[in-house]
Structure 1
Amino acid sequence: MSPQPRQTQLDARAIALLLLCCVLWGINQVAVKAALTEIGPLWQAGLRSVVAGLLVWAWAAGRGIRLFERDGSLGGGLLAGLLFAAEFACIFLGLQYTSASRMVVFLYLSPFVVALGMPFIARGETLAGRQWAGLALAFGAVAFAFAEGFSSPHGDTRGPSWWGDALGVAAALLWAGTTLAIRGTRLSSAVAEKTLLYQLGVSALALCAAAALAREPLPTHWSPRLLGLFGFQAILVSFASYLAWFWLIRHYAATKLAVFTLSTPLFGLLAGALLLGESISARLVAALVALAAGIVLVNR
């Protein structure tokens, strides 16, 4: 049976589902930072991948989706999984030093790195003058926001906030690397569930091993608060929202979906302010606006 063509317009169901995903992604950094008071960053990231990976496997088994057939995607899957693991290690470690609202803004440097790298992966995808202008605007916005971290040297008791900002930028680069690895290898033709399981499975092993080597202590008691924060990340974000996103990109035009993802940093800023009491500076808001404008120019 041939696949159904993607719909060029978003219907009410797609808009509602997409906005829900953006809200979850925006709140995710807040949940991670809040849980750091009870569980270390590497164990939190690794165990989250363990739970989400098992859920993806169960989902695929229930729907009869074959995940373990040989299709030449192993090399790309291992690469994507390791990049995915490094990305989340940077995010979870970085949130010890910087605010959740700042982290979510730095993460959205990733689309521009993908735009820069894509011509090397797909020769037909080149950048026009307007897109180069969007890239320049986006990089300038991130640099503008990053510089604020030097004037606020103690964003967290562990160290200066620019350390966390730098890890956020590194996470964005790794996220872009994961996207390019998927696009440039045999993984691009694999089913979405297999692609996601590669990332979750490899990152679960790598992050849990890193936590053990770093002698990061596991929590001796899982409070209802920790279970709620961890469950939100593993079940709602890493499992449900990612599968929903894959469903959306299989059924709707990617360019239409991309515009709505601009709301994710906004939701992250609001969640950080409302749930964690983080201060949002005018400089950070200005950087977010410039970042969004850059994404629009690149998408056009």
Structure 2
Amino acid sequence: MPARHSALAVLVAVLWGLNFLAIHASLTHFPPLFLVALRFALIAIPTLVLVPRPRVPVRWLLGYGLGFGTLQFLFLYLGMHAGFPTGLASLVLQASAPFTVVLGAVLLRERLRARAMAGVVVATAGLVVVGLGYGAAAPLGPFLLVLLGALGWALGNLASRQARAERPLHLVLWMSVVPPLPMLALSLAIEGPSTIGDALATSLTAAAVPAWLGLAYTVLLGTLVGSGIWVWLMARHPASAVAPFSMLVPVVGIATAWAALGERPGTLELAGGALVIGGVLWASRPARARIVPADPAPAAEPPPAPEPAPALRR
């Protein structure tokens, strides 16, 4: 990729890494289920008015919205609200990559290469190490919730792949139409109208400003700008050239959470994170093309020997 495009890919990784701090800020004021509904409603309303619906089968649009939009953020927000560290959340969500590989083989009968399988095994071992490191000092439940969020992302990946949208950004925007209603229903049933009402009643106070700023960042920079640039890059370069930049997301997420929130990961968590990132990078590497030697060209026939010069007559 040109240096300018590589810089854009790094910018997206930074935007997505900072997105976890923005989510943390929003969760300090809004209940998690209602926050998911509010986040996607803010994107869905202008999308319904301004953006044409992508020409894809409805089942894949719904599958993408339920997997990527609903399940991923339902469990991610619940896990972070339950106390899972912000920086580690950006790392554990990378489990979506090995989940996608395995689910693609099981559900779509995609061929599982030996390299991809080895990467999945290494990344899974890294997640186990992260879980052991985190679970030694805290309940394991929040870790499992974020891991379920990664599984939802993987299911969304399969649906978006099957959709084969001509305009991927339109698919990303219309995906946001799916989560608001089911998430609002869950919020009303689980969190209750009084909890939602209290959050909204105090949302115009000075204490709620960080939550609104975090929500604005998530919608505008994390989703619209970040996803827009990413889709633009994926349309112009091979996935193998663009996708590895996403491995910078947990690096940015952990570093910024360490600096801003004082979340210092332990040795086991860092070691497991290195295994996760290494396994995902190894699994995403394209297979080497086999070079078949060309048949040697037939040897050129030697030129005919010159005829002897005629003898001179005396």
TM-score over 0.5 (shorter chain): yes
Distance 1:122 1:31, change over 3 A: same
Distance 1:54 1:243, change over 3 A: farther
CA contact (8 A) 1:82 1:206 kept: no
Q: Runs of 4+ in structure 1 displaced over 4 angstroms?
A: 55-58, 120-123
Q: Which residue of 2 aligns with 1:251?
A: 236
- The one-letter amino acid paired with 2:235 is R
Provide the TM-score with structure 1 as the length reference: 0.85
Superposed counterparts of 1:279-290, under 5 Å: 279-290=264-275
Secondary structure at the aligned position of 1:49 is classed as helix
Q: Which residue of 1 aligns with 2:200?
A: 219
CA offset digits 1:104-163 (Å, max 9, x no partner): 11100111111122235665x52332322111110000011011232112xxxxxx3x21
Which residue, 184, 187, 208 being the options, matches 1:208?
A: 184
- The one-letter amino acid paired with 1:263 is L
Determine what percentage of the aligned residue pairs are the same residue.
22
Q: Which residue of 2 aligns with 1:47?
A: 38
Unaligned runs of 5+ in 1: 1-9, 154-159
Superposed counterparts of 1:49-198, under 5 Å: 49-56=40-47, 61=50, 66-67=52-53, 71=55, 73-83=57-67, 84-96=69-81, 97-120=83-106, 123=109, 125-153=110-138, 160=139, 162-184=140-162, 187-198=163-174
Task: Tell me the CA shift for residue 31 of structure 1.
Answer: 1.5
Distance 1:55 1:272, change over 3 A: farther
Question: Hey, what's the Cα distance between the residues in 1 that align with 2:41 and 2:62?
Answer: 16
Task: Tell me the CA shift for residue 55 of structure 1.
Answer: 4.7
CA offset digits 1:230-252 (Å, max 9, x no partner): 11111111222112211111111
- The one-letter amino acid paired with 2:5 is A
Which residue, 200, 206, 214 being the options, matches 1:229?
A: 214
- The one-letter amino acid paired with 2:28 is T
CA contact (8 A) 1:26 1:265 kept: yes
Which segment is superposed worse, 126-135 or 286-295?
Answer: 126-135
- The one-letter amino acid paired with 1:168 is V
Q: Which residue of 1 aligns with 2:302?
A: none
CA contact (8 A) 1:80 1:198 kept: no
Secondary structure at the aligned position of 1:108 is classed as helix
CA contact (8 A) 1:67 1:193 kept: no
Task: Tell me the CA shift for residue 191 of structure 1.
Answer: 2.1
Provide the TM-score with structure 2 as the length reference: 0.81
CA contact (8 A) 1:56 1:193 kept: no
- The one-letter amino acid paired with 1:126 is R
How many correspondences in the alignment?
274
CA contact (8 A) 1:121 1:183 kept: no
CA contact (8 A) 1:110 1:173 kept: yes
- The one-letter amino acid paired with 1:292 is I
Secondary structure at the aligned position of 1:127 is classed as coil
Q: Which residue of 2 aligns with 1:241?
A: 226
Question: Hey, what's the Cα distance between the residues in 2 that align with 1:120 and 1:109?
Answer: 17
Which segment is superposed worse, 80-89 or 104-113?
Answer: 80-89
- The one-letter amino acid paired with 2:263 is E
Unaligned runs of 5+ in 2: 286-314
Question: Hey, what's the Cα distance between the residues in 1 that align with 2:275 and 2:135?
Answer: 20
- The one-letter amino acid paired with 1:163 is G
Question: Hey, what's the Cα distance between the residues in 1 that align with 2:6 and 2:226?
Answer: 14
CA contact (8 A) 2:21 2:214 kept: no
Q: Which residue of 1 aligns with 2:292?
A: none
Distance 1:198 1:25, change over 3 A: same
Which segment is superposed worse, 221-230 or 172-181?
Answer: 221-230
Question: Hey, what's the Cα distance between the residues in 1 that align with 2:78 and 2:71?
Answer: 10
Question: Hey, what's the Cα distance between the residues in 2 that align with 1:227 and 1:277?
Answer: 22
Secondary structure at the aligned position of 1:130 is classed as helix
Question: Hey, what's the Cα distance between the residues in 2 that align with 1:257 and 1:141?
Answer: 23
RMSD: 1.9
